Amino acid sequence: MHTIRRPRVDDAAAIHALVATCDTAAIGAPDSTLEDIADELVEPGFDLERDGWLARDADGRLDGWAWACRNGDSDLVDVEVIVRPGVSGLAGELWPTVLARAAEQGKERGHDAVTLHIGVYRGDEAKRAQVEELGFEPGTSYHRMRIDHHGPVEPPAALPGLTLHTGEDEEVRREAHLVHQEGFAEHFGFVPIGYEQWYERRQASSATDWSQVTLARLDGRPAAVLIGNNQFALDEGCGYVATLAVLPDYRGRGLGRFLLRHAFAADAARGRKGTILHVDSNNTTPALGLYESAGMRLVMAIDVWQRRLP
């Protein structure tokens, strides 16, 4: 018998221990840090009193962690149910609560139905079977790519008319936001948001380092942006490219490759072992080929499953 209650910020360590146990069972090693979990609990838009649930057994051991997180005012809701390996029946208790809250979130934002997304590690056959049974269908797949750095990396040669600007300056951040929004407009699951919410999300994350945001202006006009952060610095010793976007009018000029090589050189200069990023394998741009040609390799696949819920 399990007791269900709402999470608190100080539950981060217990949640992290549970998630690490489940990740290790599925893929052989933990895939998040304590800081990652703490960031999730203070994510803007996530309501601790309504959007998350913890399940503890009679001895107080945390066996389940479940949540439903809205994406702005859109009809998209990210969901998750994590249950300790070997604990039977608990997922069946938590899923109806998560689905009901997701539908409620849609109603609160004026939607008759919501689209649910859940990420499942390619190797987690049990989780895949569970979401299939719940009516989820394949949506897309994200490839985690990595390149290792063995000493300094030569920065890319300068491109004519190109200037680089970092995100400590608000004007740069605002232009970076606009490039991100337009550059990702056609990507799977993308939800447009205004600058204030975009900025708030990043400020709330302990991984954010505005000096790792690089805006590229071509002949004085915003053309591309690379948003790096410290998400994989503690556990992998690597830099992380969270976003790489080039405006449609500037594609095909080598800006994406330039910014990627620029990030590699910067990460190597910081003493990092490598650089990591995620790419949608069904990307509307030839991003996967770019990353492979730059020397990055696949280290993990994460499948996104989706379900339409009235």
Q: What is the pLDDT along the chain (310 residues), one digit of tens a residue?
A: 899 999 999 999 999 999 999 999 999 999 999 999 999 999 999 999 999 999 999 999 999 999 999 999 999 999 999 999 999 999 999 999 999 999 999 999 999 999 999 999 999 999 999 999 999 999 999 999 999 999 999 999 999 999 999 999 999 999 999 999 999 998 888 999 999 999 999 999 999 999 999 999 999 999 999 999 999 999 999 999 999 999 999 999 999 999 999 999 999 999 999 999 999 988 766 788 899 999 999 999 999 999 999 9
Question: Do 88 and 115 belong together in one domain?
Answer: yes
What pLDDT is attached to residue 18? 98
User: How is residue 235 written in tokens?
Assistant: 């556990």
Question: Do 288 and 158 belong together in one domain?
Answer: yes
Which residue among 111, 135, 159 closes a domain? 135
The dihedrals phi and psi of 135, each to the nearest 5 degrees, come to: 95, 10
In a domain, 309, yes or no: no
Total-model pTM = 0.94
Question: Do 198 and 246 belong together in one domain?
Answer: yes
In a domain, 80, yes or no: yes
In a domain, 9, yes or no: yes
Which residue among 108, 135, 162 closes a domain? 135
CATH number for the domain harbouring residue 21: 3.40.630.30
User: How is residue 75 written in tokens?
Assistant: 């009809």
HEC sequence for the chain: CCEEECCCHHHHHHHHHHHHHHHHHHHCCCCCCHHHHHHHHCCCCCCCCCCEEEEECCCCCEEEEEEEEECCCCCEEEEEEEECCCCCCHHHHHHHHHHHHHHHHHHHCCCCCEEEEEEEECCCHHHHHHHHHCCCEEEEEEEEEEEECCCCCCCCCCCCCEEEEECCCHHHHHHHHHHHHHHCCCCCCCCCCCHHHHHHHHHHCCCEEEEEEEEEEECCEEEEEEEEECCCHHHHCEEEEEEEEECHHHCCCCHHHHHHHHHHHHHHHCCCCEEEEEEECCCCCCHHHHHHHCCCEEEEEEEEEEEEEC
In 3D space, the residue among 4, 72, 5, 8 whose CA is nearest the CA of residue 38 turns out to be 8
In a domain, 306, yes or no: no
CB–CB of 254/161 below 8 Å?
Answer: no
Question: Do 92 and 189 belong together in one domain?
Answer: no
In a domain, 202, yes or no: yes
What pLDDT is attached to residue 283? 73
Question: Do 81 and 212 belong together in one domain?
Answer: no
Question: Do 130 and 155 belong together in one domain?
Answer: no
Q: How far apart are CA 171 and CA 198, in angstroms?
A: 14
Question: Do 201 and 260 belong together in one domain?
Answer: yes
Question: Do 128 and 160 belong together in one domain?
Answer: no
Distances (CA, A) of 105 to 112, 219, 301, 309: 10, 44, 29, 11
In 3D space, the residue among 49, 74, 53, 75 whose CA is nearest the CA of residue 62 turns out to be 53
Domain that holds residue 46: 3-135
In a domain, 77, yes or no: yes
Packing angle of the helix pair 12-27, 34-41 (nearest 10 deg): 120
Question: Do 189 and 247 belong together in one domain?
Answer: yes
In a domain, 21, yes or no: yes
What pLDDT is attached to residue 287? 84
Question: Do 153 and 86 belong together in one domain?
Answer: no
Number of domains comprising the chain: 2
In a domain, 26, yes or no: yes
Question: Do 107 and 222 belong together in one domain?
Answer: no
Question: Do 176 and 284 belong together in one domain?
Answer: yes
Distances (CA, A) of 92 to 1, 51, 134, 263, 281: 13, 17, 10, 44, 31
- Residue 276, number of CB atoms within 10 A of its CB: 22
Which residue among 71, 100, 135 closes a domain? 135
